[in-house]
Structure 1
């Protein structure tokens, strides 16, 4: 399970008396994080987390689904108060938005065929081994920098990368652990493979994580959401949500 909150740094409850409603904006189609449920209503990990935060703050909330590329404009034009849509915290997004503390990160992980899984992945363990990554990705860059003695094989996309592992062309692949977790647990993998070793979370390569975005200067809402995120985690609700949506954890 990911752990992003330090129990020794419990935030104080902020003054939320000026908050009367939170209008969340999320993406239309990015399962399992955001999607339209069978009843036609917004659903997914982000949506359920937003509802849990509202319950904690004890405030009325709405969730509006929009195309991803319209979310920032909708927030800027006051058609919503916060974006909860797996929006990465980057130097570029920080110039336009303020963010809560990260509520998840996208780790990188190695995957091997089940008969070749290793408990630990160190550079010296992969000397001369064939390791695949998507060409031009942060994962390829990390391998080039840190696993210099591995035999690197680059592929044009994730589908080609996974196919190479299935047919034994490479010993390991290295990539986005969230998408790999769904592949491992899905039918396309044909139960071939499993994670090998622990997750890699170096922010220089794999980002600062994902936060809830608010308009610049909206500290009242940002602090309220940070407080509620900690409370939802502290009570175990975050863990329950995570396990509901990620049967094979990327962590």
Structure 2
């Protein structure tokens, strides 16, 4: 996992007088980030990260599930203090929240069958290669701009794209590396596929990463969370959680 924090840009440690219990909000249906375990308790990368933040700050916290489409409304209604639910910082989200520095990025990557040859994923090396991508996505726009000499085939959804890859109708699939990693870590994938090359991180296409959302004006909490996230990054705890839930990583 790349370090996401500039060691020369260090937020000030929060004073003890500013610290208070934190109520985190998240969904419960996006494994491995957040899900209900066999005993009905919340588990997942975001859940463990919320608890690690509170341990770092030495404050108590709660982790409360809400419907995905109700998270920002619940934050607005002060039912919680922060949303830690892999929520992207879109214009619509910024109308309700402000975000910490990202604690993970959402790169794009190429994926092939595990039995395929090793690909050089530079544009000039893929000019005779057939690449599949979801229609209308930022990933298609990226391919159109930078891989125009390749044969690009579009598919209506990820299921159709993956089926085409399995059936060898395309050489490579290009898309969201987080989604692909979740699928490859699932036993149902039968270890069929592997990443080719490294991650593409252009923020204009793939966003600037995932942060924790707080209410507008709650700058003290946002800065406190930024400090805690940087401590977890530098101590290796953030990477430890990443490897726990993503043995096949998306970077």
TM-score, scaled relative to structure 1: 0.95
**Aligned 1:183-222 pairs, distance under 5 A:** 183-222=183-222
Q: Following the alignment from structure 1 to structure 2, what is the Cα–Cα distance between the partners of residues 119 and 228?
A: 39
- 1:78 shift after superposition: 0.9
For structure 2, which runs of at least 5 residues remain unmatched after alignment?
Answer: none
Please tell me whether the aligned partners of residues 82 and 214 of structure 1 are also in contact (alpha carbons under 8 angstroms). Answer: yes
Q: Following the alignment from structure 1 to structure 2, what is the Cα–Cα distance between the partners of residues 132 and 94?
A: 32
Q: Following the alignment from structure 1 to structure 2, what is the Cα–Cα distance between the partners of residues 121 and 159?
A: 23
* Deviations 1:20-51 (CA, angstroms, capped at 9, x unpaired): 21000011211111111223222110010000
SS of residue matched to 1:165: helix
* Structure 2 residue aligned with 1:49: 49
Q: Following the alignment from structure 2 to structure 1, what is the Cα–Cα distance between the partners of residues 166 and 243?
A: 27
Please tell me whether the aligned partners of residues 23 and 62 of structure 2 are also in contact (alpha carbons under 8 angstroms). Answer: yes
Q: Following the alignment from structure 1 to structure 2, what is the Cα–Cα distance between the partners of residues 18 and 5?
A: 23
Please tell me whether the aligned partners of residues 120 and 126 of structure 2 are also in contact (alpha carbons under 8 angstroms). Answer: no
SS of residue matched to 1:17: helix
SS of residue matched to 1:173: strand
SS of residue matched to 1:116: coil
Please tell me whether the aligned partners of residues 161 and 173 of structure 1 are also in contact (alpha carbons under 8 angstroms). Answer: yes
Please tell me whether the aligned partners of residues 185 and 246 of structure 2 are also in contact (alpha carbons under 8 angstroms). Answer: no
- 1:250 shift after superposition: 0.6
* Structure 2 residue aligned with 1:104: 104
SS of residue matched to 2:180: helix
Please tell me whether the aligned partners of residues 112 and 193 of structure 1 are also in contact (alpha carbons under 8 angstroms). Answer: yes
Q: What is the CA RMSD across the aligned residues, in angstroms?
A: 1.4
Q: Following the alignment from structure 2 to structure 1, what is the Cα–Cα distance between the partners of residues 178 and 29?
A: 16
* Structure 2 residue aligned with 1:74: 74
* Structure 1 residue aligned with 2:177: 177
* Structure 2 residue aligned with 1:26: 26
Q: Following the alignment from structure 2 to structure 1, what is the Cα–Cα distance between the partners of residues 123 and 211?
A: 31
TM-score, scaled relative to structure 2: 0.95
* Structure 1 residue aligned with 2:240: 240
Q: Following the alignment from structure 1 to structure 2, what is the Cα–Cα distance between the partners of residues 188 and 31?
A: 14
More off after superposition, 25-34 vs 4-13: 4-13
**Aligned 1:133-172 pairs, distance under 5 A:** 133-172=133-172
* Deviations 1:137-184 (CA, angstroms, capped at 9, x unpaired): 111111111100000111111111111111111111101111211323
SS of residue matched to 2:189: coil
